[in-house]
Amino acid sequence: MKNLRLSAAGALLAAMASFAHAGPLCTLVADAATGRPIVREGQCGERVTPASTFKIALSLMGYDAGVLRDAHAPTLAFKPGDPDWGGEAWHAPTDPARWMQYSVVWYSQRITHALGAERFRSYVRQFDYGNQDVAGDPGHDNGLDRAWILSSLRISPEEQVGFLRRLVNRQLPVSAHAFDMTARLTEVARLPGGWVVHGKTGAGAPGTLSPDGTWDQAHAYGWFVGWVTNGTKTYVFAHLLQDARIEPRPAGVRAREAVLDRLPALLPGDAG
């Protein structure tokens, strides 16, 4: 019994230690042309769920395949049974611009189902996106619905930056229209010096599929990934944090704020 108590205590201490440094896990900013980091902080090689940052990849797929046409077509309606945890914004008719703005999960699922499993898997493989595993939850055949949401698909900050470099350098096997529209949908801010920020947030709690569907909400991940450009100079970035407790504001929103607050001090005043 004593050994059992010691074992349990050791497991508890290990779990506490793993979250003792909860907060920023990685901040990585790199020159898009050369790949040279200008900031690299934390453990940037660990893979976690991409969550809604995967919408950048889905946008490229959707426009390349003709599933998406422009910023406002197609406009699709919410259906009973669609994911609705995003609140009222997810119940409204949704076009690509609104999909990206409000991070509407069911619209992502319409894109993946329109692509079909084989084409979806092929795009992820050609993009060399993370671990490339879009099978979904074991035994549930739900890869088209949630592979990127706390499931089989995992990506590290290093891999996010590599993917984004291929995007901004137009080295992915998609059309010019797909690159152009994805850049348009992801513009989120303008900074001093003429810098334009493109990016996408993501958030999700660690855990595994369980009968009651519970997840470790107290230790949520928050992503903000993207690129910032001015003239001919472009930098790509990935910021990943993990909470130490339940927070009142989404982790992805706080990740975005952290990046936008810090970027102006990192960027040269004139990129021309």
Kindly report the average pLDDT of the chain as a whole number. Answer: 90
- Domain assignment present for residue 31? The answer is yes
58-83, pLDDT tens digit by residue?
999 999 999 999 999 999 999 999 99
**Could you confirm whether 52 is annotated as catalytic?**
yes
Residue with tokens 């907060």: 23
For residues 25 and 250, give the distance between their C-alpha atoms in angstroms, rounded to a whole number.
Answer: 16
Domain count, the chain: 1
- Domain assignment present for residue 249? The answer is yes
- Domain assignment present for residue 39? The answer is yes
Nearest to 130 by CA among 57, 200, 198, 235: 57
146-179, pLDDT tens digit by residue?
999 999 999 999 999 999 999 999 999 999 999 9
Average pLDDT over residues 9-26: 50
Domain of 98, in residue numbers: 22-266
The 8-class DSSP code of residue 242 comes to: E
Helix (H, G, I), strand (E, B) or coil at 207: coil
pTM of this structure: 0.89
- 205 pLDDT band, cuts 50/70/90, is confident
Q: Which of 52, 59, 103, 156 is catalytic?
A: 52
- Domain assignment present for residue 7? The answer is no
- Domain assignment present for residue 161? The answer is yes
- To which H or E segment does residue 39 belong? strand 37-42
For residues 201 and 52, give the distance between their C-alpha atoms in angstroms, rounded to a whole number.
Answer: 6
For residues 203 and 195, give the distance between their C-alpha atoms in angstroms, rounded to a whole number.
Answer: 25
- Domain assignment present for residue 1? The answer is no
- Domain assignment present for residue 150? The answer is yes
Task: Output the pLDDT for position 269.
Answer: 65
For residues 99 and 58, give the distance between their C-alpha atoms in angstroms, rounded to a whole number.
Answer: 11
- 208 pLDDT band, cuts 50/70/90, is low
In one letter, which amino acid is 2?
K
What are the beta bridge partners of residue 26? 42, 240
Task: Output the pLDDT for position 246.
Answer: 85
Q: For residue 44, give the CATH number of its domain.
A: 3.40.710.10
